[in-house]
Amino acid sequence: MLYAQNREIVIPGQLIAEGSHSIYGGAFKEGNRIYSSVIGLMNVRGQDIRVVPLGGRYVPRQGDVVIGVVMDSHHSGWILDLNSPYVGNLFVSDLAGRKVDLDKEDINQFLSMGDVVMAEIRDVDERMRVLLDAAGPGMGKIRGGKMVEISSAKVPRVIGKKGSMATVLQSTSGCKIKVGQNGRIMVWGDDQRMVNAVVEALLMIEREAHTSGLTDRVKQFLEKMKLEGK
């Protein structure tokens, strides 16, 4: 029994369903009744109910690719700010991709304070200690580009179904982007105007993530900016 419709905006404490559904995202059960715990978008698929949060801070999950900023270092690695209540731990061997002899090598040659790193979350334990791996392909220290921070809840919209939105952003603007699940996005481009246009497009996606027809609007916007630049 559903009390809210698919794609309806629901608020904390709102009764959304009753009965034996599987629940995901910002929903919780009390006895037989299901409620939303956040302000979010109601999503129903068969017996599954998901409340997609429209906001909220990033909570690290295993497998996510994130963009972190080095905020502290220690004997064998670094602590990265993840724009989250939780920091990431990166050991030097997980950046170099090999065993590092700490007596012979100085870890400061790898990273400094404030450096930006793309990494995968290898593990999160129940005390929310996050272990990062930055040795994989496409991972590691990021150079150049403009960093944009949006709400991590809107990142799926920036990527789009099967990467559709990310493709539109890059192919229409001629810029390159890398998206972190924690809401940080890097934008590179030779044309400063188009880089700024992509930034504006990202902010538009953040504002309108819950609406339909967004991919088309973003495409139109970027094409307009491209024409105006000529």
Partner 1 sequence: MYELVSTVKRDYIVDLARQGKRTDARALDQYREVSVETGLIESAQGSALVKIGNTQVLAGVKIEKGEPFPDTPSSGVLMVNAELRPIASPTFELGPPDENSIELARVVDRGIRESEAIDLDKLGITPGEEVWMVYIDLHALDHDGNLIDAASLAAVAALWNVKKLQVEGWTLEEFPVVKKPVAVTIAKIDGKLMVDPSLDEQNVMDARLTITTTEDDSICAMQKGGIGYLTVEEIKTAYELARAKAAELRKHLG
Partner 2 sequence: MMEKPEKLIVDGKRLDGRSPDELRPLKIEAGVLKRADGSAYVEMGKNKVLAAVYGPRELHPRHLQQPDTAILRCRYNMAPFSVDERKRPGPDRRSVEISKVIREAFEPVVFTKLYPRSGIDVFIEVLQADAGTRTAGINAAAVALADAGVPMRDLVSSVAVGKVDDTIVLDLMKDEDNYGTTDMPIAMLPRKKVITLLQMDGHFTPEEFERAIELAMKGCEQIYEVQKQALKAKYSTKPEEE
Confirm or reject binding of residue 146 to partner 1 (CB under 8 A).
yes
110 touches 69 (CB < 8 A): no
What phi and psi values does residue 127 have, to the nearest 5 degrees? -95, 15
Torsion of Cα atoms, 67 then 73 then 79 then 82, to 10° = -40
Residues that bind partner 2 (rule: CB under 8 A) add up to a total of: 35
94 contacts: CB under 8 Å, gap ≥ 6: 77, 122, 131, 132, 133, 134, 135
Q: Tell me which residues in 160-199 interact with partner 2 (CB under 8 A).
A: none
Return the residue of 59, 65, 147, 199 that touches partner 2, per CB under 8 A: 59
In the complex, the smallest distance separating the C-beta of residue 3 from partner 1, rounded to whole angstroms, is 36
Structure tokens, 47: 């017996």
Q: What is the largest CA-CA distance in the chain?
A: 65
Confirm or reject binding of residue 144 to partner 2 (CB under 8 A).
no
Confirm or reject binding of residue 74 to partner 2 (CB under 8 A).
no
In the complex, the smallest distance separating the C-beta of residue 222 from partner 1, rounded to whole angstroms, is 16
Q: Tell me which residues in 67-126 interact with partner 1 (CB under 8 A).
A: 69, 71, 81, 112, 114-116
User: Please, which residues bridge with residue 121 across strands?
Assistant: 132
Stretch that binds partner 2, among 30-38, 95-103, 106-114, 177-185 (CB under 8 A): 30-38
List of residues contacting partner 1 (CB under 8 A): 69, 71, 81, 112, 114-116, 142-147, 186, 192, 196
